[in-house]
Amino acid sequence: MNSDRLHGDAAAGAREVAAELLDTAAQAARRLTAGERDAVHDFRVAVRRLHSWLQAWSPPLHPGRRNLRRMRRLARATDAARDAEVALDWIDRQRKGLAPDERVGARRLARRVEARRTRGLRRARRRVADRWPRLERRLRRRLARSTEPAGVEFGHAAGTLVLAQAERLERALESLHGPRRGRREHRARLRAKRLRYLLEPLGAQTPAMPVAAGVGRALADLKALQDLLGELQDLRVLAARLRAAARRAGGAGGRGRVDAALHGAPDAYPGAATDADSLPGLLALARTVGVRRARCRDGLHRRCADGGAVATARGVGVALAPKDEEPVRRGIARAR
């Protein structure tokens, strides 16, 4: 992004960025349907960046609620393949530290996850091949029709949106502790991701522009925060897989033992097992998940305490937004 776009009309600037993000998503979709294995991750990220941008700039761009829902569904169609990929990588890294009797359960779990990944990849490729081309055409038509100027500068509008999203992230981080902590962490992760995706296009400005350094710091802080929250989400998925595998191996008693291991409690549930050879490995993996989860939450607590991610993002918003934001908000809304 250059200074011309930054000082140009908000609707035109948002439309140009959206078109670039749509091109990236279309390229990733072609790679995915062609069978490239790494394209699943690239497509997920590209679609979510595009969705987040269109949602943030929906008044001037008119993406359509149905199209936004279709994008969310397509991204979710890749969840199973992506989650399985993460789980397999994690199990492989832990396997070296397991005792011989514990590796049995790890191998059996890995085989199940591998089968899930294969099914997930087939489903994702089929769903994207069936639904993406029509969705892409609809989005391109929408962008082509959204030509009405907003009457405010793109930089001013972007700064106003950044400030609003930073406030939402701050509220999400403040509410992390309490019941249903996992859901609260998941919500904070989504808030951090949306703010990051809103800031990323601003990071391509010329180095001579003072705000560029602030964008870089904000993106670095948000990535560190998002990495912690993302790992916690991955650990939640892993914990669910371990519970399911333990139930298959040892019934309710097996699941109870894994639950205890996840929370660092002694193994006090030696219930009957139908596949007891798997349980030592599942318990070892569960203990590792529990320890790592506690460390991630400690790191998250420290990051929330220093407020770095919110503060640096808010600094960018303040630098870009005018002192009186109300005319900017009206200008964006008028573009509907």
pLDDT tens column, 35-83: 887 899 999 999 999 999 999 999 889 999 999 999 999 999 999 999 9
SS3 state at 146: coil
* Whether the Cβ atoms of residue 67 and residue 142 lie closer than 8 Å to each other: yes
DSSP 148-176: ---SSBHHHHHHHHHHHHHHHHHHHHHT-
pLDDT band at residue 285 using 50, 70 and 90 as cut-offs = very high
Mean pLDDT of 318-328: 71
Residue 276: what pLDDT?
Answer: 59
Does residue 4 register a pLDDT over 90? no
Structure tokens at 322: 């005018």
Does residue 203 register a pLDDT over 50? yes
* Whether the Cβ atoms of residue 50 and residue 21 lie closer than 8 Å to each other: yes
Beta-carbon contacts of residue 52 (< 8 Å; ≥ 6 apart): 193, 194, 197, 198
Q: How many CB atoms lie within 10 A of CB 123?
A: 15
Host domain of residue 55: 3-334
Residue 212: what pLDDT?
Answer: 72
Residue 147: what pLDDT?
Answer: 77
Does residue 293 register a pLDDT over 80? yes
| pLDDT over 90, % of the chain | 65
- Evaluated on CA atoms 58, 61, 64, 69, the torsion sign reads negative
Find the CATH number of the domain harbouring 183.
1.40.20.10
Mean pLDDT of 238-248: 92
User: What's the whole-number average pLDDT of the chain?
Assistant: 88
Residue 329: what pLDDT?
Answer: 58
pTM of the predicted protein model: 0.88
Residue 332: what pLDDT?
Answer: 54
Residue 271: what pLDDT?
Answer: 47
d(CA 66, CA 120): 24
Does residue 123 register a pLDDT over 70? yes
Structure tokens at 143: 């962008």
Q: Give backbone dihedrals phi and psi of 127, rounded to 5 degrees, phi first.
A: -65, -45
* Whether the Cβ atoms of residue 211 and residue 320 lie closer than 8 Å to each other: yes
Tens digit of each residue's pLDDT (9 = 90 or more) over 154-167: 988 999 999 999 99
Mean pLDDT of 166-188: 91
DSSP-assigned letter for residue 269: -
Tens digit of each residue's pLDDT (9 = 90 or more) over 85-96: 999 999 999 998
Beta-carbon contacts of residue 31 (< 8 Å; ≥ 6 apart): 39, 42, 43
d(CA 188, CA 226): 9
Q: How many CB atoms lie within 10 A of CB 154?
A: 27
Does residue 33 register a pLDDT over 90? yes
d(CA 158, CA 202): 9
Structure tokens at 246: 């333990």
Residue whose tokens read 């972007």: 158
Q: Give backbone dihedrals phi and psi of 35, rounded to 5 degrees, phi first.
A: 100, 5
Residue whose tokens read 């892409």: 136
Q: How many CB atoms lie within 10 A of CB 163?
A: 17
Q: How many domains does the chain have?
A: 1
* Nearest partner of 39 among 30, 48, 50, judged by Cα: 30
pLDDT band at residue 249 using 50, 70 and 90 as cut-offs = confident
Does residue 274 register a pLDDT over 60? no
- Evaluated on CA atoms 41, 47, 217, 169, the torsion sign reads negative
d(CA 295, CA 291): 6
Does residue 275 register a pLDDT over 70? no
Residue 265: what pLDDT?
Answer: 82
